[in-house]
Amino acid sequence: MPVRQVIRSGKVPVKVWTKDLDEGSFRQLKNISQLPILHSHVAVMPDAHLGIGCTIGSVVPTIRAIIPAAVGVDIGCGMMAVQTNLKSSDLPDNLRSLREDIEEAIPLGPGRAHRAAVEFPEQEELHARFEEFSSRHAPVKKLPRKSDWIRQMGTLGGGNHFIEVCLDENQSVWLMLHSGSRGVGNQLAQYFIQLARKDMKVHQINLPDRDLAYLSEGTRHFEDYVAAVHWAQDYAKLNRATMMRLILQVVKRHFPQCRAESVQVNCHHNYVEKEHHFGQDVYVTRKGAIRAGEGEMGIIPGSMGTRSYIVRGRGNPESFNSCSHGAGRRMSRTAAMKTFTMEDLEQQTEGVELGRRKAILDEIPGAYKDIDQVMADQEDLVEVVHKLKQVVCVKGD
């Protein structure tokens, strides 16, 4: 579907790919459209829902400035999927031991780390880059110890992060995961969000929401934020690749014939990059959106009881070559905990090998939008290459 509605109350229009937009998101989009740093328009994907300052599902092009809180606190959060040579017929009826072995191999939940660091070849390069920008920021240098972020490489985190074993429409087995830059990304984000707020006060810039504070080119902290955010984005991508390597090792213990096929996708959905759109070089912040340039592969996950999609971008310029990053929440975590029961979770995830517990009730499929409707709303943004349905799901608390 093309753009479903346009909000025209700000300095630039907001083009929305869904009619299913909650009141809070509508207010946030009106706020962000008032900023003087925007270019052309703001694009909003069909999975849009309320965020902090910036609506999740937004694609925000800015001129000579970046909004750190729009990039978010899980810098570089995203997805990775790998097709294997296994078929559904290779899998046993009971997948509990596979799930438990994955849970044993991958530290799950906030703050968790490997007891001993997992080796990865980019370690020294990452350390040198971190030292370079942190040397100018004493608080940053004190925040994450090298031993902490190295031991968190290859770990999942909590919330909506997950690991899944899936089957596609041809009964091929896929491995898929969702994670980001872990504790170090959060700490860097929080630090620069505070600096952006201070900059707004120094320059006496009034904002409709303090979480829309931005750093501008030429100001004291801008270049260091760019270095930090790209560092965290690279860390997040490596974290997913490292985790996938560990998961493949587990799967191979269960199925020695397993190997990864050539189809592998690793994409961010909370990040910023410099791109060229509508005649202007801009910083494009995708807050809960993935890049979907023509021919580019991406991943759009559903909830833990519904389908996910491997997609190919159509390169739609109106969306700044973007599409949704998932189904999108239709209710908050608090509301989900109050609305649903463990019996609901059992029913809505039937057929999925899952460690069902109260701590993940807020991730119940009923708390999310209908992924099939989300996909229908963005037919002009992506084409579906594969449809995946999970048979194993691992969640962090």
Q: Which residues are catalytic?
A: 325
Q: Looking at the chain, list the stretches that DSSP marks H as alpha helix, in order from N- to C-terminal side.
A: 23-32, 68-71, 96-105, 123-134, 138-142, 146-151, 182-202, 222-254, 333-339, 342-348, 371-377
* DSSP label at residue 368: B
CB burial of residue 246 (10 Å; 0-12, 13-18, 19+): middle
Closest of 315, 269, 272 to residue 290, by C-alpha: 269
Distance CA 148, CA 186 (A): 13
Closest of 388, 375, 386, 338 to residue 358, by C-alpha: 338
Closest of 47, 270, 262 to residue 172, by C-alpha: 262
* DSSP label at residue 90: G
Of all helices (H) and strands (E), which one includes residue 371?
helix 371-377
Give the type of residue at 269. Answer: H
Closest of 46, 6, 1, 3 to residue 29, by C-alpha: 6
